[in-house]
């Protein structure tokens, strides 16, 4: 039974697995996207999300199966999130230009 066992082995010993995760993570962070198998992408997703949690997250897009061994191939890419302050500034600037109210303000009904 595998109760309480965390992580994926990927048919590698600890050193090989650590090296694989390190290489995949560094390639993703430098290039912005990688094409790999679904199991490898799921294995490093938690690690990468911890590294980029303030500026974004990751997205996994299925590409189809590989011809050689029918493994599911995916494209894993970084997704940038806009800061709330930037959105608020953009909304205020747009409201000043268009002479409209910002989208984030609540309107009150008059009774």
Which domains are present in the chain? Answer: 14-98 (3.90.1030.10)
Q: Is the pTM of this model over 0.85?
A: no
Q: Compute the distance between CA of residue 88 and CA of residue 75 in angstroms, rounded to an integer.
A: 32
Matching residue, tokens 């082995």: 9
Q: Which of 8-17, 38-47, 96-105 has the lowest mean pLDDT?
A: 96-105
Structure-block tokens of residue 103: 């989208």
- Provide the percentage of residues in the chain whose pLDDT is more than 90: 52
């Amino acid at each position: 039974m595998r109760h309480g066992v965390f992580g994926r082995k990927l048919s590698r010993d600890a050193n090989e697995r650590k090296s694989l995760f390190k290489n995949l993570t560094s390639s993703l962070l430098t290039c912005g996207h990688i094409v790999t198998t679904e199991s490898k992408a799921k294995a490093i997703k938690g690690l990468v999300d911890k590294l980029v949690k303030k500026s974004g997250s990751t997205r996994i897009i299925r590409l189809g199966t590989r011809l050689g061994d029918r493994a599911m191939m995916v494209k894993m890419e970084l997704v940038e999130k806009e800061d709330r302050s930037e959105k608020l500034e953009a909304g205020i600037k747009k409201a000043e230009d268009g002479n409209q109210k910002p989208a984030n303000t609540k309107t009150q009904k008059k009774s």
